Amino acid sequence: MASNAAMPFWRAAGMTYITYSNMCANMVRNCLKEPYRSEAMSREKVHFAFSKWAEGKPQKPTIRSDTPGE
């Protein structure tokens, strides 16, 4: 049974909701005036650690910092 319901435009454009929300957040951050812009940009950074496992034991963790644009 086909549905005639409207499809969200982000899905019609072929992107995920996460991609769409990240684009919107970027646009909002770029519209802010200083000092609010620099504060918002600093919160955008993502830091995480991951460990590879070998022979049932975790190896030394690697810390990554992914910042958009780098």
Rounded Cα gap, residues 52 and 38, in angstroms = 35
The pLDDT of residue 70: 46
Tell me the pLDDT tens digit for each residue of 29-57: 899 999 999 888 887 777 778 888 888 88
Residue 31 belongs to a domain? yes
Q: How many domains in the chain?
A: 1
Report the CATH number that the domain containing residue 38 is assigned in CATH.
Answer: 1.10.1620
Structural domain span for residue 25? 7-63
Residue 2 belongs to a domain? no
Residue 29 belongs to a domain? yes
Residue 27 belongs to a domain? yes
The pLDDT of residue 2: 53
The residue with greater pLDDT, 48 or 4, is: 48
Q: 35 exposed, middle or buried (CB, 10 Å; 0-12, 13-18, 19+)?
A: exposed
Residue 68 belongs to a domain? no
